[in-house]
Amino acid sequence: MQTTIIRDFDHWRSAARGCIAAGIPPSHVRMFDDTGQQSLFAESEGLPAAPADSGPFRVPPRFLSLAECLSCHRSADRWNLLYRTLWRIVNEHPKLLQLETDADVLQLTRMEKQIRRDTHKMKAFVRFRRVENGGVEHFIAWHEPDHRIVRRVAPFFSRRFASMNWTILTPDESVSWDQQQLTYGPGLSKSDAPQSDQLEDLWRTYYANIFNPARVKVKMMKSEMPVRFWKNLPEAEIIDELLASAPQRVEQMIAKHEGFAETAADLITSRLQPPLTLPELQQLAQECTACSLHCNATQTVFGHGPADAEIVILGEQPGDQEDLTGVPFTGPAGELLREAATATGLNLAECYITNVVKHFKFRLIEDPKDGPEPRGQRRLHQKPDAREIRACRPWFEAEFSCLARARVLICLGSTALAAVAGPGQRLQEQRGRIFSTAACEKTIATWHPSAILRTPESLLRQQRMEQFCGDLRTAASLTNR
């Protein structure tokens, strides 16, 4: 067994190249993190350097991106996981990263998500406090990230606050910016950071003004702003007060017709009175102008199915064929859905089928087909953005409220999953799981049929189709429990 202590990503890359060139399998290598806490029995023996005459080998750019990202992770085994994956890519399966259900690939993507989420939280929750020394203004912040991401995030702050002198302190490492260069230092404690300043009053005022009580979902708020960060956020001091006053504030907003103008909720609340019905909603949806998608689409494509449906199927948006027919899932994706439903015994006629976004979003491209007719243009699907999804989501919420017997919600694809479970959810991790959302206690996410159709590799496409059928079979079984 050969062992070494890895200092950083560049050191690991050099060591991994040497091991691959020397033909050393993962079972004969142990790479330890440079934390100073290794066992005495893990003394470094050193790893071979790549021979001068060794031939080059290629790995997907995706792997290098993963490896660099995971170098920030706290997992002590990350270097070994990366080397094992590299060995398998080079020697066993060049397209390993496309097998999303592989145990190593799944672990890599899970760890990558943790790093990206931690990076996002640091960008969102660092709060600077102003100090002055000898007439020179300096801003200092304290943050406690889950992983060692200071060097990953520091360039963002140098761009965002280029004209400020600032320092960010964390338990692992500190970084300072003097308006010219970044300087890194050792980790420090919270007591080394200033405790308060006048900027905190500005943060509290700003947060109180952007707080919308009509959109309050405490569980979602705690997901996006975890409670453990609250002690370092000045605005957190007023959250309890804002939540307590939310019901009264909502009543005032409704009375003043305030806060709903940018979503479909404006149309629903102003024109219909509870209890709502599907025919009423469908007719009213034809008038929706909550976002710009209605300008180019042929028509609003509303949900379709019986009002007593127990299973609701939620997709992303109508496609080209659906835009013309006015019925969801009548194009190629619908054909695949019907094929899978037939194979699994799911009766689509008993399901309510709809989309998060009700208008077709597309861009025009030149049709490359040659033929006797002159070339024309065709409409190419485009993914709806967060504004369009947010504007249209009240239609689905209203639809679901009309389905009194709905017990199971099937989310087809990442857009549908994010719309009901929050933007932090990844389809690769949630697929096939039964979990609870604000919309439905029994929610299950699976591949969108279009994603299966677009998968170029036949093996992966077959794998996804089998998973898709299995997820539909699971969803159907839930109505019997």
CATH number at residue 474: 3.40.470.10
270 in any annotated domain: no
Claim to verify: residue 429 and residue 399 sit in the same structural domain: yes
| The pLDDT value given to residue 28 | 92
Q: What is the enclosing helix (H) or strand (E) of 400? A: helix 386-402
Please report, in angstroms and rounded to a whole number, the separation of the first and last CA atoms in the chain: 52
421 in any annotated domain: yes
Q: CB of 384 within 8 A of CB of 357? A: yes
Q: CB of 281 within 8 A of CB of 402? A: yes
Q: What type of residue is 62?
A: R
Q: CB of 430 within 8 A of CB of 333? A: no
| The pLDDT value given to residue 270 | 75
DSSP bridge pairs for 362: 381
Claim to verify: residue 171 and residue 241 sit in the same structural domain: no
| The pLDDT value given to residue 200 | 55
Claim to verify: residue 55 and residue 110 sit in the same structural domain: yes
| The pLDDT value given to residue 267 | 81
Q: Which of 158, 174, 192 is the last residue of a domain?
A: 192
Low-confidence ranges of the chain (pLDDT < 50): 36-44, 202-204, 206-207, 209-211, 213-216, 218, 221, 235, 238, 250, 253-261, 371-375
Q: Say how far apart CA 188 and CA 141 lie, in whole Å.
A: 11
Q: Say how far apart CA 44 and CA 4 lie, in whole Å.
A: 4
Structural domain range at position 315: 300-368+379-478
| The pLDDT value given to residue 132 | 77
> What is the number of domains present in the chain?
4
The pTM (predicted TM-score) of the whole model is: 0.50
Claim to verify: residue 58 and residue 102 sit in the same structural domain: yes
* 258-261 LR contacts (CB < 8 Å, sep 24+): 259/212, 259/214, 260/214
Claim to verify: residue 182 and residue 203 sit in the same structural domain: no
| The pLDDT value given to residue 223 | 54
Q: CB of 314 within 8 A of CB of 411? A: yes
How far is C-alpha 247 from the chain's CA centre? Answer: 30
Claim to verify: residue 108 and residue 9 sit in the same structural domain: yes
| The pLDDT value given to residue 250 | 47
Helices and strands, number each (H, E), in the chain: 17, 14
CA-closest candidate to residue 305, choices 323, 281, 278: 278
Claim to verify: residue 221 and residue 364 sit in the same structural domain: no
| The pLDDT value given to residue 128 | 81
Claim to verify: residue 113 and residue 215 sit in the same structural domain: no
344, burial (CB in 10 Å: exposed 0-12, middle 13-18, buried 19+): middle
Claim to verify: residue 113 and residue 130 sit in the same structural domain: no
Encode pLDDT of 282-312 as tens digits.
999 998 988 889 888 999 999 999 999 999 9
245 in any annotated domain: yes
Claim to verify: residue 347 and residue 459 sit in the same structural domain: yes
